[in-house]
Structure 1
């Protein structure tokens, strides 16, 4: 297993970086599950600065009176359209996800919990394979 390097992971909005293709920036797009149910919106992207790969979406979800923010591994993304990001998790699963806390951006334990919750291998493990789609640089 490779070692987690927390200094590599940052919110895209906290950098001067941009996507090569402005249409590839999915921030602000609606997030839906495979059944088409609205889950929330992509608030930000967590990017590995060493590899320039998106590792997670920061998604605002919930209803008007109770908004929650969660980090969802990029591995959950199955399709991206001009208006939506489709993920392989359902509304109930997202509703119970570990809440995203920007103060935990450098906490390995938090990311282990997130990846475990969604059923994916953490990106810093040797056996991890970056998803073929979507691919961002």
Structure 2
């Protein structure tokens, strides 16, 4: 399992700002944990304005949505959708690939994601395309103030 935290590079392109393997450590007898992502401000800061299309997820600051998302296999012949083209939103998206594979396209390149990969994405530009077998993703979105 690995965690990838997204952010912006010096040029303002979305990118991976942290990548690490996840290793749990004992927290109390019989329980080991590993922190994946946390915020340091309350409320979390608004995301930067993106260069892709704005995806209005109708999430007021502080609202939480927890979903299982099934992505159909992507083909270059498919009609573009909001998800498959570069977009941004006013949420922190936290997701974990459960099954299949997917590609997350960023301003500086492509992430190839497999089962067990976790991503923390604070409203930055991205596009999502499932691999040849599709993908199942567990996703949590937390509403942020509008992009500043």
TM-score (norm 1): 0.25
Structure number with larger C-alpha Rg: 2
TM-score (norm 2): 0.24
- Point out which structure has higher relative CO (alpha carbons under 8 A, 6+ apart): 2
